[in-house]
Amino acid sequence: MVNEARAHLQNVIVPFWRKMRDNENGGYYGYMDYDLNVDKQAVKGCILHSRILWFFANAYDVLREPALLDEAEHAYKFIRDYCIDWINGGIFWSVDYQGKPCEDMKHTYNQAFAIYALSSFYGVTGIEDAKDLAYDLYNVIEGKCRDTAGYLEAFDREFKPVSNEKLSENGVEAKRTMNTLLHILEAYTELYRVTGDRKVAERLHWIMGLWAGCFVNKKKERQEVFFDYGYKSLIDLHSYGHDIETSWLMDRAVEVLEDIPTRNQILPLTKMLAAKIYERAYVNHSLLNECENGVDNTDRIWWVQAETVIGFLNAYQQSPDNEEYIEAAKDVFNMILTKMTDKRAGSEWFWKLDENLEPIPGMPIVEPWKCPYHNGRMCIEIIKRLG
């Protein structure tokens, strides 16, 4: 797996995203349609750019190719110069192709991804300004994006609450979401890893306690997804991709914290999630998308497959006697290389496949959510864990 992952990273994902670089206006082009046409005047998502920054910083960390650091610096400068609201604080949702604010709302999820990326970039460069900016956004989340019970979601430019349609799906509007909490945890884990800041560690402990107490449904062996302010679940939804992703991201946080009581609290829950996903959603060399009201969505989504490989690999490393997990990781990885990867010249991964593992036409190859973060991270994790 290691050689294949390295080759896929070097020969498919890295070259594709380097070609998406916008040398005229900064950052990276924000859209490529299914037919591989690049819209050079498309909106540039700030989440997309945070994920690109994270990707190139971490690709450089494992491959040590100077060109990758140059790409990371290019993404960093665009975020710093155009995506940050230097008056009100926080990072915008999106800017236009020239870097002017487009959707100027502030979302907690978006702040978290920028922290994640800036922390990794600081980790490989030592650039203090990047660390300072990560802390600025950390203080935005802690000072403006939460209440005493947990984290809130969507705000306008001046941090007045607005509708959370950006992270609400399936016909509900959530006041709190599992997805936002997960990526705050992810961001704070990376910030703590590169700084050792105990106040960040304290917030990580608090988040993990909140997750275990309010987000995990032990009876159904899953996470709940969308909530009201009081953590009442709004919908019967089992998000298979988020559960397998959460299982390893929580374990990563435990590893970084090096705290035995936290490990004893969290590890049984992450093992439970991974086991349920293996039993319930691992079908036909791949992972189903989700289950709403007892009905499976059988689409195979690009990011779900990437996180499945890492999640099953992590589950095997946590429980080496369960060899079915490593076999499943290899199986899904092979499906990705043969089916999910778009073999057309100048492309990368398809957005989604149908239940027969055939690409669904019309879905873009690049858009504000389709990025090198999940699939690049899959390769990087394989290299780090098995190399």
pLDDT of residue 375: 98
Q: How far, in Å, CA of 316 to CA of 123, rounded?
A: 28
Q: Is 343 helix (H, G, I), strand (E, B) or coil?
A: coil
pLDDT of residue 172: 87
Q: Which residues contact 143 (CB under 8 A, 6 or more apart)?
A: none
pLDDT of residue 182: 98
Angle between helices 198-210 and 260-281 (to 10 degrees): 50
pLDDT of residue 20: 98
Work out the number of other CB atoms within 10 angstroms of the CB of residue 164: 22
Residue linked to tokens 């990705």: 336
Phi, psi dihedrals of residue 283, rounded to the nearest 5°: -140, 135
pLDDT in tens, 31-88: 999 999 999 999 999 999 999 999 999 999 999 999 999 999 999 999 999 999 999 9
Nearest to 52 by CA among 90, 14, 25: 14
pLDDT of residue 238: 98
pLDDT of residue 350: 98
Q: How far, in Å, CA of 31 to CA of 33, rounded?
A: 7
Q: How far, in Å, CA of 20 to CA of 353, rounded?
A: 23
Q: How far, in Å, CA of 82 to CA of 89, rounded?
A: 13
Positive or negative, the Cα torsion across 176, 178, 180, 182?
A: positive
Written as tens digits, the pLDDT of the chain (387 aa) is: 999 999 999 999 999 999 999 999 999 999 999 999 999 999 999 999 999 999 999 999 999 999 999 999 999 999 999 999 999 999 999 999 999 999 999 999 999 999 999 999 999 999 999 999 999 999 999 999 999 999 999 999 999 999 988 777 778 899 999 999 999 999 999 999 999 999 999 999 999 999 999 999 999 999 999 999 999 999 999 999 999 999 999 999 999 999 999 999 999 999 999 999 999 999 999 999 999 999 999 999 999 999 999 999 999 999 999 999 999 999 999 999 999 999 999 999 999 999 999 999 999 999 999 999 999 999 999 999 999
pLDDT of residue 167: 78
Q: How far, in Å, CA of 364 to CA of 26, rounded?
A: 22
pLDDT of residue 169: 75
Residue linked to tokens 């190399």: 387
Query: Structural domains in the chain?
Result: 2-386 (1.50.10.10)
Residue linked to tokens 């019967």: 236
Residue linked to tokens 């987000």: 215
Greatest distance between any 2 Cα atoms in the chain? 54
Return the bridge partners of 349, or none: 341
pLDDT of residue 107: 97
Phi, psi dihedrals of residue 294, rounded to the nearest 5°: 80, 0
Alpha helices in 88-229 (DSSP H): 108-125, 128-144, 178-195, 198-210
Q: Which residues contact 316 (CB under 8 A, 6 or more apart)?
A: 322, 323, 325, 326, 329
